[in-house]
Amino acid sequence: NYVVVYYYGYDNDRTAVAVKDLGAGPFQMIEGTVVNFDKHARTMTVKDDAGKSETFGLDDHLVVDSGLSVSGGRGYDPHKGYHVVVTYAKAGDKNSAIFIRSRE
């Protein structure tokens, strides 16, 4: 299984405060730039360096690491041009984002 560990502290002095199970997968990953965000449909489109685009559903179970904090998916408001690494699950022709590392 894949997990997200929530912690506080720096360097080697860290204390875990919670663990969120992401499930067993299988998961896929894409790194690229946000080219579209539909706030009402809760979808985000990312284009990788090779020019391939993927669209992801941003559900309630999503975890987002912005580098400064970790939040849930409903509060995530990516802007065009953000650099992201998206870990996602594929179900048929739909992609559901599970974990996003987002940098402006």
SS3 74: helix
Q: pTM for the full model? A: 0.83
Q: By the 8 A CB rule, do 7 and 69 touch?
A: no
Give per-residue pLDDT as tens, 12-25: 898 888 888 888 87
Q: What is the mean pLDDT of residues 47-71?
A: 88
What's the CA gap between 87 and 56, in Å, rounded?
10
What's the CA gap between 35 and 65, in Å, rounded?
19
| Token pair for 68 | 């400064």
Half-sphere exposure at residue 73, Cβ-oriented, CA atoms within 13 angstroms: 20
